[in-house]
Amino acid sequence: MILPGKVVTTAAEVGICEAGSRAASESWCGRYLKIGRYKLYLGLFFDLWKRHTVSPIWIQTGEGANWPQNAILPAAEKDRLRSSLRSVSIDPSVFPIEITSNLYLPLIVKAGLDQDEVVDYAVQQILDLRNFLVAEEPVA
């Protein structure tokens, strides 16, 4: 199983998110996930890694035809998503980056970890994001 798929599967098994389908192209591969109302994609983005040299693993979110759940979100919820991504960013002044209506946030990969430790650390980062999204939701 590709690393992002293992991260999403592990996060879903402990109730952090819902696991979605896998998707790939020549320059990225990974798996969709859903946290609350937000649809995200966790993947290896080789072009972003080359350009930003921060991490091979990125969370992507967007709008439009490929992101119907996000496209119908009210503006306040889209702002909440951007704010939550910024809150868990390694550098909120730079990340998330926006490319053609998609937001991209790198996950930290620490050197010297084995694959299971990388997965656990990535799952923790997704949990942190989920906690910010939940904390930012309006009280009903």
pLDDT tens track for 68-88: 778 788 888 888 889 999 999
Domain boundary assignment for the chain: 3-136
pLDDT tens track for 93-105: 999 999 888 899 9
* Residue 53 or 78, more confident: 53
**Count of CB atoms situated within 10 Å of the CB of 41:** 24
Tell the residue number behind the tokens 């702002």, with chain if given. Answer: 79
**Count of CB atoms situated within 10 Å of the CB of 18:** 14
What are the structure tokens assigned to 93, written together? 């002044």
When pLDDT is cut at 50, 70 and 90, the band that residue 12 belongs to is: very high
When pLDDT is cut at 50, 70 and 90, the band that residue 2 belongs to is: confident
What is the pTM assigned to this prediction? 0.90
Residue 89 in this model has a pLDDT that exceeds 60: yes
* Residue 88 or 2, more confident: 88
Helix (H, G, I), strand (E, B), or coil: what is residue 33?
A: strand
What are the structure tokens assigned to 39, written together? 């649809």
